[in-house]
């Protein structure tokens, strides 16, 4: 279960947060949200759709984290890569702390 609640969001977050700033990031995040929406609709309802929807929701958390990081990146001047790295680490740390709290850790 740790893969679902930690691994998937982190992989999605890193893949989208490392896109170049501006239009490529916005397009990547929009495509990821559209894919999550289509997946959610195609997953079906009832018990058969429960696990796929958990996976999709987990991936969508990573998309939200990446959108937050890319939004923060717009306010960081060009060439300050260390600041963006710190922002990314901070977002990951907050997400891990929130997940730990949500899972009762």
pLDDT of residue 46: 76
pLDDT of residue 105: 56
Is residue 105 a part of any domain in this protein?
A: no
13 to 21, 29, 43: CA distances (angstroms)? 14, 10, 22
Is residue 20 a part of any domain in this protein?
A: yes
Q: What is the mean pLDDT of each run of 10 residues along the chain (105 residues)?
A: 78 90 91 92 80 86 89 78 82 80 67
Is residue 86 a part of any domain in this protein?
A: yes
- Considering the entire predicted model, what is its pTM? 0.80
Selection from 70, 75, 85, 59 nearest residue 25 by Cα: 70
Is residue 80 a part of any domain in this protein?
A: yes
Q: How many domains does the chain have?
A: 1
Instruction: Please classify residue 43 by burial: count the beta carbons closer than 10 Å to its beta carbon, then call 0-12 exposed, 13-18 middle and 19+ buried.
Output: middle
pLDDT of residue 97: 80
Is residue 22 a part of any domain in this protein?
A: yes
Query: In which domain, by residue range, is 17 found?
Result: 2-100
Selection from 80, 91, 83, 103 nearest residue 4 by Cα: 103
């Amino acid at each position: 279960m740790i893969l679902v609640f930690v691994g998937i969001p982190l992989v999605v977050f890193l893949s989208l947060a490392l896109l170049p700033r501006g239009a490529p990031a916005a397009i990547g995040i929009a495509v990821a949200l559209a894919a999550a929406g289509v997946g959610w609709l195609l997953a079906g309802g009832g018990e058969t759709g429960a696990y796929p929807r958990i996976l999709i929701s987990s991936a969508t958390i990573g998309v939200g984290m990446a959108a937050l990081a890319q939004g923060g990146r717009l306010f960081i001047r060009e060439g300050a890569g260390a600041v963006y790295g710190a922002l990314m680490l901070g977002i990951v740390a907050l997400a891990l702390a929130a997940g730990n709290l949500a899972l009762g850790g």
